[in-house]
Amino acid sequence: MQVLWFIPTHGDGRYLGTATGGRSVNFDYWRQIAQAVDQLGFTGALLPTGRSCEDAWILASTLVTYTKKMRFLVAIRPGLMSPGVAARMAATFDRISGGRLLINVVTGGDPVELAGDGLHLSHDDRYQLTDEFLTVWREIAGGKISNFEGDYLNIKEGKILFPNIQKPHPPLWFGGSSPIAQVIAAKHVDVYLTWGEPPQQVAEKIASVRRLAQAQGRTLSFGIRLHVIVRETESQAWDAANDLIRYVDDEAIKKSQQAYARMDSVGQNRMKELHNGSREALEISPNLWAGIGLVRGGAGTALVGDPDTVSKRMQEYADIGIDTFIFSGYPHLEEAYRVAELLFPRLPLDNLPTIEPQLLSPFGEIVANREFPQQLQE
Ligand code: FMN
């Protein structure tokens, strides 16, 4: 099992849908989060992409120099980038980071935003373009020369001269729930991602993508993107969840739901259907809470509970085939620590951090100027 975190390049705060508790998000803050991710034993972090985000490639390139181990999940955008340019950016980042790049393939689900960036194709045509893009990108990034003539791309002797560290190229991760997205994922990518739907729905999607991949003689692994609200007790966790939306008013929910309704993303629509804009019945499956999706697009659900319960719910996802969790929590710096402290000791993580020998921590603070604090018996 591996757990990644999230760099909030579109803002951060203590409460959703309000400036109350909002914080100034800038490079120093992202650097603190990245260094926490790096030290705490997360595999890496997702940097989102889109017009409400700072540019993920530029931010990742600066953060990489302040970190040692963490991997950066950064988007390539079919239709907005040339596959050759995207392959070159990936190779440069892969080399300067020592092989720490993960690629998120984002086709996009908001026609209004995409039109603003000059892309005017329908949902399924964007995925046809993605198919062509990934065919070319994989050739070029894999060190081959690409000659390709399709409906959208016409490439003559596309290549990179400086190779990737990771072979044949940095792994391709991908989130897209529509039928055509699943076909493209099965054909090209390494890790299929879903937003945090209830286990039964996730199991159905995994079965479908697996079937499609098998037909191509391929195997994929699977990841899920969720928020997590973990506290020492169940009641503290649920109080924290309710606190997160305490200042959200109905107008903010209405406005958000209207904006997401214009999207043609099947994944976004599946997220919306989990709550339909209503504050009632937000626990949509045991310990899975849809409150965040009332005002946030994309990842809209959180696992809520005490550490044993949350790790048990994660294990339920693991049992149906999920081996990667991309988590976040508000505010992202403090919650990274909380997740690592409360949850990591209970998880079968691939890469638990080794405690550096010169450090005694974690130990808390010296008591009475002479003693180490006592460990509580569980
Ligand atoms: N879309 C974005 O515009 N920016 C992102 O950063 C982004 N990250 C995603 C992360 C995950 C884990 C998932 C599951 C999806 C993400 N998406 C993002 C959306 C998808 O890439 C895709 O464009 C969208 O879901 C539309 O495809 P669909 O109709 O097949 O669901």
Contact 266, 343 (CB under 8 A): no
Mean pLDDT value across residues 175-182: 98
Instruction: Report whether pLDDT(118) > 80.
Output: yes
pLDDT of residue 366: 81
Half-sphere exposure of 179 (CA within 13 A, CB side): 0
Give the distance (Å) from ligand 1 centre to CA of residue 175: 5
Whether 188 shows a pLDDT value over 90: the answer reads yes
Q: What atom of ligand 1 comes closest to residue 105's alpha carbon? A: 21
Q: Is the pLDDT of residue 267 over 70?
A: yes
Q: What is the pLDDT of residue 264?
A: 97
Does residue 9 line the site of ligand 1, with CB under 6 A? no
Q: Tell me, what's the pLDDT at 326?
A: 98
Top pLDDT among 135 and 352 is at: 135
Query: Tokens in use for 174?
Result: 């991908």
Q: What pLDDT score does 213 carry? A: 98
* Ligand 1 atom nearest 265 alpha carbon: 29
In sequence order, what are the beta bridge partners of 331?
none
User: Which of 53, 80, 104, 106 for a ligand 1 pocket mutation test, highest count of atoms within 8 Å of Cβ?
Assistant: 106
Whose tokens are 């969840």? That residue is 241
- CA of 233 relative to ligand 1 center, distance in Å: 33
For the CA of 326, the nearest atom of ligand 1: 12
At 28, which amino acid appears?
D
pLDDT band at 375 (very low <50, low <70, confident <90, very high): confident
pLDDT digit string, tens, across residues 159-169? 999 999 999 99
| Residues recorded for the chain | 378
pLDDT score, position 270: 96
Whether the predicted pLDDT of 359 surpasses 70: no
Q: Which of 104, 173, 201, 292 has most ligand 1 atoms within 8 Å of CB, for mutation?
A: 104
- The band of 128, judged by pLDDT with boundaries at 50, 70 and 90, is very high
77 in contact with ligand 1, CB cutoff 6 A: no
- Mean pLDDT score across all residues of the chain: 95
pLDDT tens-place string over residues 50-62? 999 999 999 999 9
Question: Residue 378 — pLDDT band, cuts 50, 70, 90?
Answer: low
Residue 174 Cβ inside 6 Å of ligand 1? The answer reads no
Distance 174 CA to ligand 1 centre (A): 8
What is the average pLDDT across 33-47? 96
- Distance of CA 87 to CAs 63, 308, 331, Å? 20, 42, 34
Token pair 């540019």 is found at 55
Does the pLDDT of residue 358 top 50, yes or no?
A: no
Ligand 1 nearest-atom number relative to CA 267: 31
Asked if residue 49 has its Cβ within 6 Å of ligand 1, the reply is yes
SS3 314: helix
Distance 268 CA to ligand 1 centre (A): 8
Question: Does 48 contact ligand 1 (Cβ within 6 A)?
Answer: yes
Cα dist. 79→47, 73, 121 in Å? 19, 19, 9
CA of 143 to the centre of ligand 1 (A): 27
Check pocket membership of 181 for ligand 1, CB cut-off 6 A.
yes
DSSP secondary structure letter of residue 355: P
The yes-or-no verdict on residue 299 having pLDDT over 60 is yes
pLDDT at residue 209 is higher than 80: yes
354 pLDDT above the threshold of 60: no
pLDDT in tens, 79-111: 999 999 999 999 999 999 999 999 999 999 999
Instruction: Inform me whether the pLDDT recorded for 156 exceeds 50.
Output: yes
User: Band of the pLDDT at 356, cuts 50, 70, 90?
Assistant: low
pLDDT for 73 equals: 98
In sequence order, the β-bridge partners of residue 229 are 304
Q: 218-245: per-residue pLDDT in tens?
A: 999 999 999 999 999 999 999 999 999 9
Q: Is ligand 1 within 6 A of the CB of residue 108?
A: yes
